[in-house]
Amino acid sequence: MIDELMGRIAGRFARVEPRRRARAFVLGLLTDLPRKNCWSIAEHAGDATPDGMQHLLAGARWDADGVRDDLRGYVAGHLGDAAAVLVVDETGDLKKGRCTAGVQRQYTGTAGRIENCQVAVYLTYAAPGGHALIDRELYLPRSWTGDPARCAAAGIPEGTMFATKPKLARRVIARALDAGIPASWVAGDEVYGGDPGLRADLETRQMGYVLAVAKSHRLNAGPGACRADQLAARLPRSAWQQYSAGNGAKGHRYYDWAFIGVEPRSSGTAGCWSAATGGPGSLPSTGATHPATFPSQSSPGSPAAGGPGRRTSKVARAWPAWMSTRSADGIPGTDGPLWPCWPARSSP
């Protein structure tokens, strides 16, 4: 497999030496080394010093974006599925000093707090046959884009402008879809769900999505706008179902869900919100969960009156094209009907 992949990207390297070094670097990343850096990977490859690995990442000439495109095609060729989901999220790498491109004190989920780090937005291809990262965009804070000399010293192309994480997400998603990568859904947390531009992009493409939003997010439901947590609070206890999200860092994760129909959009596509809560609820799971429904993370809370768990934590939003002609029953990809689609004006 590694030989097939390396053969695919061979033409992206101008010289054979960096190509061989790249192969050794990838093999090092695939090992169970306790720490993976240029020192440890070079030692694993049999090198006397880390100079070669450092040169590969910092100075060698090779087409990084071309390698990205080749990798994306490789993943699609092996895992491609029309029911796949594109998952967008950011992660951070802790750093020392201030010279690494994009580094500054900022929040990173890697540490769970504000740290000196470098943050990038990644796109994952999740399909029935497996999952893999297929794209990335480095997040450059304004402290960098507003300092051309600092950018030049770090090798950042001249004229690079500031872009928010949602805007970077729009880029990687657009590249994947423009390349014809088969997928039916896009998923992300509230960093991305709160961006109207990303949602508009996906609706224009008739692409289903499940994006978390903050509980304070306002939406049209019934006679007027209301907060997402207010909409969730209107639901009767019987509307909530429990969903298992598998094991997490702190044990098995359970979420309570309710599927809510809201006002159609001007395009004629029906709006469909899935309210999610954190922590185990008291209701057993009934019916099937749509495979593209991803729960958002939230901390467990005390049971609220009229519903299990903390019902007002977050809400995931979707505008699948088929909702204009299909009811909540018999949605393709499920083993049976979803839970009832309760009116937005239901009483607790």
Q: Which residues, 6+ apart, have CB-to-CB distance to 271 below 8 Å?
A: 219, 220, 261, 262, 263, 264, 265, 317, 319, 323
Together in a domain, 103 and 145? yes
End-of-domain residue from the set 62, 83, 111: 62
333 and 224 housed in the same domain:
yes
- Tokens describing residue 50: 């880390």
102 pLDDT band, cuts 50/70/90, is very high
Task: State which residues form the domain around 149.
Answer: 64-183
Q: What is the pLDDT of residue 274?
A: 62
Q: Is 293 contained in some domain?
A: yes
SS3 267: coil
Most confident of 180-189, 227-236, 332-341: 180-189
| pLDDT number for residue 287 | 23
Four-residue CA torsion sign, 12, 6, 171, 59: negative
State the Cα–Cα distance between residues 140 and 163, nearest whole angstrom.
Answer: 7
Q: Which range is least confidently modeled, 62-66, 92-96, 177-181, 308-312?
A: 308-312
293: its two tokens: 């429904």
Same domain, 339 and 221: yes
The answer to whether the beta carbons of residues 91 and 102 sit under 8 Å apart is no
Q: Which residues, other chains included, contact 151 with Cβ-Cβ below 8 Å and sequence gap of 6+?
A: 101, 140, 144, 145, 158, 160
Q: Which of 145-154, 186-195, 244-253 has the lowest mean pLDDT?
A: 244-253
pLDDT digits (tens, 9 = 90+) for 132-178: 999 999 999 999 999 999 999 998 999 999 999 999 999 999 999 99
| Residue whose structure tokens are 């051309």 | 148
Output the pTM of the full model.
Answer: 0.76
Please give the Cα distance from 89 to 345 (Å, whole number): 33
331 and 259 inside one domain: yes
Asked whether residue 48 is domain-assigned, the answer is yes
Higher pLDDT, 200 or 291: 200
3-state class percentages of the chain: helix first, strand second, coil last, to nearest 5: 30, 30, 40
Q: Where are the alpha helices (DSSP H) in the chain?
A: 2-9, 16-29, 38-45, 51-58, 64-79, 142-145, 148-153, 165-178, 190-193, 196-204, 228-233
253 pLDDT higher than 60:
yes
CB 165 within 8 Å of CB 123: no
Average pLDDT of the chain, as a whole number: 76
According to the model, what pLDDT value does residue 271 have?
53
Q: Over 60: is that where the pLDDT of 47 sits?
A: yes
